[in-house]
Amino acid sequence: MKVLVTGASGYLGGRLCHALLRHGHVVRAFVRRSSDISCLPPVGGGDDGALELAYGDVTEYRAVLAACDGCQVVFHVAALVEPWLADPSRFLSVNVGGLKNVLQAVKETKTVEKLIYTSSFFALGSTDGYVADESQIHPEKFFCTEYERSKVVADKIALQAAVEGSPIVVVYPGVIYGPGKVTAGNIVARMLIERFNGRLPGYVGYGNDKCSFSHVDDVVEGQMAAMNKGRLGERYLLTGENASFKLVFDLAAVITGTKKPWFNIPMWVIDVYGWASVLFARITGNLPLISPPAVQVLRHQWAYSCEKAKVELGYNPRSLKEGLAEVLAWLKTLGSIHY
């Protein structure tokens, strides 16, 4: 099949392109002229299928429409994935405006049979004290980040489009981790690099946070299963083990035979650090690793069940320990961490 992937130059989109090519599909990667496409195989070749490029921005309708031409499947993966941006209006224009353009282009392109839209666990909302499934609707009372707000707005548009007949399947990964491009979306790799280079000596908070950790290759398998088996208009959580970042650091210490952190950094200290980082970011233009909205995320729990995807898609996420062992070995090979 000919498959369009938006966000192909990103962490998840890049891995998805490789997997689709391995399965013999022709992949059209939608990238910007400014995109770093080093994570993609060479144009025309690559693994088993063939890769072609389509240039454009998801906010430009004509470019999206042209990219859809002749494709049977569209994976809309592109998004601005940051907890904080100096100009927060960009989240809505890219994450919501981009989806609207993709939906319209899919409608106009007669060859497209299925659209797999990559949403996020944030679109379902926090789950303080319980584990949620696909039936949870975001209460929209409070958003930790403008990114979360944009994913919620986009989710409603995606589900409404399904009601109106769009051939859409929506997938919701958890916190994605695993080998691949170290973008803002690869937060676990970035935190492990900080931890193993001595810049993050303690635990972040007291381990009351909870996230669902999804290995990037499990998410890719889930996206492809959604293409093959996903029912139109359905939501599928592609999540994994529900755990705290404290457990991530503990497992990393056990796997590498290194010492666990011996103290907890209180959230208020991380908050102060976040405010300082944002101030610094406003001056330098370099985006912060920790910001006050990111701290808000850590003050909540985001635990989900992927039972529906297991049953319907054959989704089979690996354990966090297994996934982390792979990430740590990969970061060591890159020379990003030493142990």
Q: Is residue 99 a contact partner of residue 29, using CB atoms and an 8 Å limit?
A: no
Range 29-58, binding ligand NAP (CB under 6 A)? 32, 34-36, 57-58
Positions 110 through 149 that interact with ligand NAP (CB under 6 A): 118, 120-121
Distance between CA atoms of residues 189 and 184, nearest Å: 10
Rounded Cα–Cα distance for residues 302 and 281 (Å): 27
* Apex 122 CA angle, 85 and 104, nearest 5: 80
77 binds ligand NAP (CB under 6 A): yes
Any contact of residue 153 with ligand NAP (CB under 6 A)? no
Q: Is 65 in the site for ligand NAP (CB under 6 A)?
A: no
For residue 209, the minimal CB distance to ligand NAP (Å) is 15
d(CA 122, CA 119) in angstroms, rounded, equals 8
Please, which residue, 185 or 292, has the CB nearer to ligand NAP? 185
Strand 241-243 and strand 211-215: the pairing is: antiparallel
- To ligand NAP, the closest distance from the beta carbon of 280 in angstroms equals 21
Name which of 138, 140, 183 is nearest 14 in CA terms. 183
Determine, following the binding rule CB under 6 A, whether residue 324 of this chain makes contact with ligand NAP.
no
Rg of the chain taking only CA atoms, in angstroms: 19
Q: Figure out which of the listed residues 3, 5, 12, 71 binds ligand NAP, where binding follows CB under 6 A.
A: 12
Q: Applying CB under 6 A, does 154 fall inside the site for ligand NAP?
A: no
* 222 makes contact with ligand NAP (CB under 6 A): no
- Nearest of 281, 302, 25 to residue 176 by alpha carbon: 302
CA atoms of 49 and 25, how far apart (whole Å)? 5
Which stretch of DSSP H or E encloses residue 261?
A: none
Nearest CB to ligand NAP, comparing residues 59 and 264:
59
**Which part of the chain contacts ligand NAP (CB under 6 A), choosing from 178-186, 247-255, 278-286, 299-307?**
178-186
What φ, ψ does residue 310 adopt, rounded to 5°?
Answer: -65, -45
Stretch that binds ligand NAP, among 7-15, 17-25, 277-285, 320-328 (CB under 6 A): 7-15
Residue ranges in 93-112 that form contacts with ligand NAP under rule CB under 6 A: 94
N residues, the chain: 339
Query: Helix, strand, coil proportions of the chain in percent (round to 5)?
Result: 40, 15, 40
Residue 58 CB, shortest distance to ligand NAP, in Å, is 4
- The token duo for 66 is 């042209």
Contact flag: residue 68 with ligand NAP (CB under 6 A) = no
When binding is defined by CB under 6 A, the residue of 19, 22, 59, 250 that contacts ligand NAP is 59
Task: Encode burial over 35-53: b for 16+ CB neighbours within 10 A, e otherwise.
Answer: bebebbbeeeebbebbbeb
> What's the min distance (Å) between Cβ of 297 and ligand NAP?
11
Q: Residue 77 corresponds to which amino acid? A: V
Q: Does 7 bind ligand NAP (CB under 6 A)?
A: yes
Residue closer to ligand NAP (CB basis): 170 or 278: 170
* Maximum separation of any 2 CA atoms in the chain, in Å: 59
- Taking the complex as a whole, the smallest distance from the CB of residue 281 to ligand NAP amounts, in Å, to 17
79 binds ligand NAP (CB under 6 A): yes
Which C-beta is closer to ligand NAP: that of 22 or that of 32? 32
List interacting residues with ligand NAP (CB under 6 A). Answer: 7, 9-13, 32, 34-36, 57-59, 77-81, 94, 118, 120-121, 173, 175-176, 181, 183-185
